[in-house]
Amino acid sequence: MSDDELAKDLGLLSALAIGMGTMIGAGIFVLPGAAAQEAGPIVVASFVIGGAIAMVNALAVSELGTAMPKAGGGYYYVNRGLGPLFGSISGMGDWMGLAFASAFYCIGFGGYLTDLLAGTVLALPTLEFGLVALTDIQLGALIAGLLFVGVNYMGAKETGGVQTVIVTVLLGILTVFAATGFLHFDWGTLTTDGLAPTEQGYGAILPGTALVFVSFLGYAKIATVAEELKNPGRNLPIAVIGSVAVVTAIYAVLVGTMVGIVPWHSLDDSVPVSQVAEITFAGIPVLDAVGVTLISLAAMLATASSANASILSSARINFAMGRDKIVTDKLNEIHPTYATPYRSILLTGSVIVVFIAALGQDLEILAKAASVLHLIVYGLMNLALIAFRQADVPDYDPDFRVPFYPVTPIVGAVLSFGLIGFMNPIEIGLSLAFVAVAVLWYALYARSKTPRQGVLGQYVLDRSDAMPDIAVSAASAASPDAADEHRVMVPLSNPRTERHLVSLASTLAAERDGIVHAVHIVQVPDQTPLDRGAERIDTESEKLLEQAREHAAAHDVEIETTTIASHRSVEEVFDAARQYDDDQVVMGWGGDRPWSVGRAEQPLDELARDLPCDFLVLKDRGYDPSRILLPTAGGPDSDLSAEIARTLRSATGASIDLLHVVDDESEREAGEAFLTEWAADHDIGDAVLTVDTSGDIEGAIAREAAGETLVVIGATERGLLSRLVRGSLVFDVVDDLECSVLLAERPTKRSLRERLFGRSKE
Amino acid sequence: MERSLFETVLVPIANERDAEATCRAILREIGDGDATLHVVHVIEKAGGAPDKAGVEQRREFADRIFDRVDTALATEPIPLETAVLYGTDVATAILEHADRLDATSIMFTPRGASRWKKLLSGDVAQKLLSNTDRPLVILPPGDTDE
């Protein structure tokens, strides 16, 4: 088994247990009372509609989760899809949403704990310290909160079956409850005042949904641990969709039973399930004695597992945000003894404690704030899904696709944002404040740090001509600063000859305020372990990179250095360019460079067809870009060579001579017209234009190159690199010239995906 | 034929501080022998529940440990291999790996944690001691920078 498979140990059952265990929590044990009082018996519809909204979003989560099984879930998809501005909103939203939800679960726990201990010597007191008052429920909630945070901080070992056992026990108890309830169910109780007896009538359904939606938070948490799932392509959709379906059904039955036993207006608004159980368990042996205690324990078990899962997944979100530098990565330090992300857990824990203490007296605010923030994330997630589909990102290849695209994600976004409208002003205000803080956070902190551009922003900026101006300026205004950084990679091998390469790379980088990325690829013979090779060569590598640093410093360019030990050489250049998101690679050619030996394990055609970025290959006979010859026949690769020549001219004041070769004198006029237009198009209209009518490209280049210092050739045919590695250059003439030659090749489809997705390690 | 304890040495390392203390201790003891070091970090899996920290997060942590080891041993001519192991039980994962490598010994420095901490984080050293099928070499951590 590969390492990756060993790391994946969550089966379908575990994933379902996580989803259901997180959802079945305080929502169903606490809210039916308050919701029934607000909406009447029709509250059952509120729950079912909540389930339906959750289901539409579950489809989107399934598609995004199978496309990107990464830690972080909703945050990760939104950040990749819509960019770091919305990424910041969804990250903060998801994180704080979880903190609100956890505080809510803790209050639910506290309620049942207080109920359980009432009348015993352990009964929780109500505390008052001057202005600050804590109810007994809040006290219970604080104890619970500290306990859950402590458990996650120390990572007390939770072995495989526990979650599954908890969910099974919960379902068992709830089944007993529903079964006994069935015997007491009375349609008359349910319809005594009509189905929708409140002032708003049926209009109370959606506000009811807004209140109880918190009961459905949890299905998306399966996606935050997607990297641990076995066969995520299959198990993730089944677990996410399945857990929503099962939980919705359970809620409908339970709530229907409850309002059919206790009249809707008398349902207890803190421990309704216990209240109903007292009636239904009466007279049944054993249950009569322990039933209500059993319900209290079940409620506490359910809220504990919800809170626990929420705290755990908030740490995953922090990790994903830290990796994208939306928050500082220091937050994600691992504890040396407990191996837990303890700082993240402590911070989230503190927020939860503050929420319990400050807002814990009003359960509804906690529940709805959690819902609003999650709904914002769900809405954005649906939009991200649309962005991925529309931008047609090559690496976006989900195993599960939402049906009826684009209707489903549009409906998902509308429902998610729409439900927020049914909240109270205070919850909406509180949540908007969080969004504002997130936007500010992005503008003031994250924007200068994060290197990630979203699919949407890239899509708009790539089509800036076709897009409305306002969209383009909005996209560029929201773009992260760091993503624009132009990175020029230089693979180095030999200290004597690499100075010219570094100089060229520095010039190219400096013109765009970019950085040079010097990479020493140490080729290690197959029979030598990599670590060993790296060790031996360490000093040499350090010396080489130190020289590169000096050269770059002379050009006043920032430089980053990397040493890679590898059994391969050319492939490693490609991999490194991908991994580090480099925009250009400047390679040397010839001499004793390992990639000149013509040895590669992967078929090179395959490699060269999939260039990670622009490739520039220098046949080095000194670096002096003062007089540049630029032969062109048009085409995308000559675009690149024109760009390079222009950059060199702007940096060094070089002169540019353009050369176009046609077959005979009759084509001269057409050739001149082409060249003039081409030069104007590429912003080098003032270059000296030469049209050669010999029809002999190589001869023409040889003739014109006399007196020039650098020839820049765009590889007009595919596969420049594969030819290079086989030892045959594009033109033999390159070998005969006296000046340096720079060959330029641009990937056919500039592969955005590397920048968008990074490169996964698998 | 007699095999030296130092021939194929498995070195489990739990965190970055351990990495340095252990490397120092090994360098003190190992001398000029022909030792090959196999440094491993075990990522404890929950085996059916979500892990304490994400897998990628733990892998990055492991990479930092290996970097420390690399740095500490950079100037020494000691062959070094590193690996990340996964297992629901840290001690078992170490012993299984030792078996695969046919390691001549398992070397580590005690972490000196309090009983309370050991109870919570699982006493790996104790489990190794009780279940090992090959020599365990426990190195004194020596002067730590604490």
Q: What are the C-alpha distances in Å from A182 to residues A24, A185, A187, A610, B100?
A: 21, 5, 11, 64, 59
Question: By C-alpha distance, which of A307, A306, A439, A420 is closest to A371?
Answer: A420
- For the stretch A612-635, what's the b/e string if a residue is b when 16 or more beta carbons lie within 10 angstroms of its beta carbon? bbbbbbbbbeebbbebbbbbbbee
Q: Are residues A476 and A355 in the same domain?
A: no
pLDDT tens-place string over residues B46-99: 877 888 888 888 888 998 899 888 888 877 788 888 899 998 888 999 999 999
DSSP class of B110: -
Q: How confident is the model at residue A718 (pLDDT cuts 50, 70, 90)?
A: very low
Q: Retrieve residue A215's tokens.
A: 């009961």
Rounded Cα distance between A80 and A91, Å, is: 12
Which among A154, A228, A319 has the least Cβ separation from residue B120?
A: A154
Q: Per the structure block, which two tokens stand in for A529? A: 């372990």
pLDDT value of position A102: 95
A553-572 burial: b if 16+ Cβ within 10 Å, else e: eebebebbbbbbbbbbbbbb
Residue A4: its pLDDT value, please? Answer: 66
Inter-chain CB proximity A7 and B86 less than 8 Å: yes
Nearest-angstrom CA–CA distance, A95 and A99: 6
pLDDT band at residue A403, thresholds of 50, 70 and 90?
very high
Q: Look at A531 and B79 and tell me if their CB atoms are within 8 Å.
A: yes
* Mean per-residue pLDDT of chain B: 83
Which has the closest alpha carbon to A82: A650, A570, A475? A475
Query: How do A614-619 and A740-745 pair as beta strands?
Result: antiparallel
The pLDDT value recorded for residue A127 is 73
Q: Is B45 at the interface with chain A, CB within 8 A?
A: yes
pLDDT above 80 for A606? no
> Sheet holding A584-589: strands in order across?
A558-566, A515-523, A487-492, A584-589, A614-619, A740-745, A710-714, A627-631, A655-661, A688-692
Residue pair A318/A98 in contact (Cβ under 8 Å)? The answer is no
Same structural domain for residues A265 and A385? yes
pLDDT of the residue at A751: 40
Note the pLDDT of residue A243: 95
Residue A412, SS3 per DSSP: helix
Residue A86: per-residue pLDDT? 92
CA–CA separation, B129 and A272 (whole Å): 53
Do residues A286 and A346 share a domain?
yes
Same domain, A177 and A265: yes
- Taking 3-state DSSP, the helix, strand and coil percentages for chain B, each rounded to the nearest 5, stand at 40, 20, 40
Q: How confident is the model at residue A401 (pLDDT cuts 50, 70, 90)?
A: very high
A670 domain residue, yes or no? no
Between A452 and A531, the higher pLDDT residue: A452
Q: What percent of chain A has pLDDT over 90?
A: 26
Top pLDDT among A51 and A532 is at A51
Q: How many domains does chain A have?
A: 2
Count CB pairs under 8 A between chains A and B: 129
Share of chain B above pLDDT 90, in %: 23
Flag whether residue B101 sits within 8 Å of chain A, measured between CB atoms. Answer: no
Which residue of B57, B71, B75, B78 is the best one to mutate when testing the A interface, meaning the one whose CB has the most A CBs within 10 A?
Answer: B57
Torsion of CA A443, A446, A448, A451, to 10 degrees: -130
The Cα–Cα gap between A26 and A106 comes to: 8
State both tokens at B127: 């489990």
Task: Read off the pLDDT of residues A92-135 as tens digits, 9 standing for 90 and up.
Answer: 999 999 999 999 999 999 988 988 888 777 777 777 666 667 88
Question: Exposed, middle or buried: residue B50 (CB in 10 Å: 0-12, 13-18, 19+)?
Answer: buried
Q: Is residue A549 part of a domain?
A: no
A315 touches chain B (CB under 8 A): yes
Output DSSP code: residue A157.
-
Same domain, A396 and A428: yes
| Cα–chain center distance at A19 | 20
How far is Cα B10 from Cα B105, in angstroms, rounded to an integer? 6
C-alpha–C-alpha distance, residues A493 and A496, integer Å: 9
Closest chain A CA to residue B112: A337
What does the pLDDT read at residue A134? 80
Give the gap in angstroms from C-alpha B53 to the nearest C-alpha of chain A.
6
Asked if the Cβ–Cβ distance from A14 to B48 is below 8 Å, we say yes
Taking residues A613-630, report their average pLDDT: 81
Same domain (yes/no): A257, A394: yes
B108 three-class SS: strand
Supply the range of the domain harboring residue A113: 3-432
Interface of A with B in 143-172 (CB under 8 A): 152, 154-164
Domains along the sequence of chain B with CATH: 8-138 (3.40.50.620)
Residue range A315-362, pLDDT digits in tens: 999 999 998 888 888 888 888 888 889 999 999 999 999 999 998 888
The predicted model gives A424-434 an average pLDDT of 86
Predicted pLDDT at B145 = 47
Contact residues for A737 (Cβ-Cβ < 8 A; gap 6+): A621, A701, A702, A705, A711
What is the reported pLDDT for A218? 87
Q: Which of A667-681, A724-738, B42-56, B65-79 has the lowest mean pLDDT?
A: A724-738
> Which burial class, exposed, middle or buried, applies to A611 when counting CB atoms under 10 A from its CB (0-12, 13-18, 19+)?
buried
A20 inside domain: yes
Q: Is residue A241 part of a domain?
A: yes
**Pairwise CA distance, residues A618 & A320, whole Å:** 39
Nearest residue of A to residue B114 by CA position?
A337
> Got the DSSP string for A716-760?
-SS-HHHHHHHT--S-THHHH-SSEEEEEE--SS--HHHHHH---
* A629 inside domain: no
**pLDDT given at position B98:** 93
Residues A235 and A204 occupy one common structural domain = yes
Classify residue A82 by burial, with Cβ atoms within 10 Å: 0-12, 13-18, 19+. Answer: buried
Cβ atoms of A196 and A204 closer than 8 Å: yes
User: Does the pLDDT at position A515 exceed 50?
Assistant: yes
Contact B111 A162 (CB under 8 A): no
Q: Give residue B33's pLDDT band: very low, low, confident or very high (50, 70, 90).
A: low
Q: Do A207 and A322 belong together in one domain?
A: yes
Helix, strand, coil distribution of chain A in percent, nearest 5:
65, 10, 30
What element of type H or E holds A236? Answer: helix A232-259
pTM score, whole prediction: 0.71
Q: For residue B119, is pLDDT > 90?
A: no
Please tell me whether residues A359 and A259 are part of one structural domain. yes
Of A736 and A53, the one with more pLDDT: A53
Same domain, A276 and A183: yes
Does the pLDDT at position A603 exceed 60? no
| pLDDT for A379 | 95
Q: With bands split at pLDDT 50, 70 and 90, how would you rate the model's confidence at B24?
A: confident
Choose the closest CB to B53 out of A156, A315, A761: A315
* Cis ω for the linkage preceding B79 (within 30 of 0): no
A149 and A263 housed in the same domain: yes
* pLDDT value at residue A599: 42
Asked whether A253 and A178 are in contact (CB, 8 A), the reply is yes
**C-alpha span between A69 and A61 (Å, rounded):** 11
Q: Read out DSSP for B37-96?
A: EEEEEEEE--SSS--SS-HHHHHHHHHHHHHHHHHHHTTS---EEEEEEEESSHHHHHHH
pLDDT at residue A1, rounded to an integer: 45
Share above pLDDT 70 across residues of chain A, in percent, rounded to a whole number = 84
Residues 6 or more apart whose CB falls under 8 angstroms from that of A352 comprise A99, A102, A103, A106, A145, A149, A311
- Beta carbons of B52 and A71 less than 8 Å apart: no
pLDDT at A758: 39
In contact, B24 and B142? CB cutoff 8 Å: yes
Distances A512 to A452, A453, A487, A554, A613 between C-alpha atoms, Å = 18, 18, 9, 17, 16
What are the pLDDT digits (tens) for B96-115?
999 999 999 999 888 766 66
pLDDT tier at B12, thresholds 50, 70, 90: very high
Question: A57 in a domain, yes or no?
Answer: yes
At A480, the amino acid letter reads P
**What is residue A52's predicted lDDT score, i.e. its pLDDT?**
96
Average pLDDT over residues A527-541: 60
Q: Does position A581 have pLDDT exceeding 60, yes or no?
A: yes
State the smallest CA–CA distance between residue A565 and chain B in angstroms.
13
Question: What does the pLDDT look like over A243-288, one tens digit per residue?
Answer: 999 999 999 999 999 988 988 888 888 788 888 888 888 878 777 7
CATH number of the domain where residue A93 is located: 1.20.1740.10
Q: A462 and A428, same structural domain?
A: no
Greatest alpha-carbon pair distance for chain B in Å reads 46
* Position A490 pLDDT exceeds 60: yes
**Dihedral (C-alpha) A392, A397, A403, A408: value to the nearest 10 degrees?**
-50
Task: Spell out a b/e string for B125-140, using b for 16 or more CB atoms within 10 Å of the CB, else e.
Answer: bebbeeeeeeeebebe
- A338 in contact with chain B, both atoms CB, cutoff 8 A: yes
Q: What per-residue confidence (pLDDT) applies to B117?
A: 64
Residue A443 lies in a domain: no
**Residues A535, A540, A544, A545, CA torsion sign:** positive
Domain membership of residue A745 (yes or no) is: no
pLDDT at B141 over 80: no
DSSP 8-state secondary structure symbol assigned to residue A29: H
Instruction: Give the per-residue pLDDT at A750.
Output: 38
Question: A650: buried, middle or exposed (CB in 10 Å: 19+, 13-18, 0-12)?
Answer: exposed
Predicted confidence (pLDDT) at residue A414 exceeds the cutoff of 50: yes
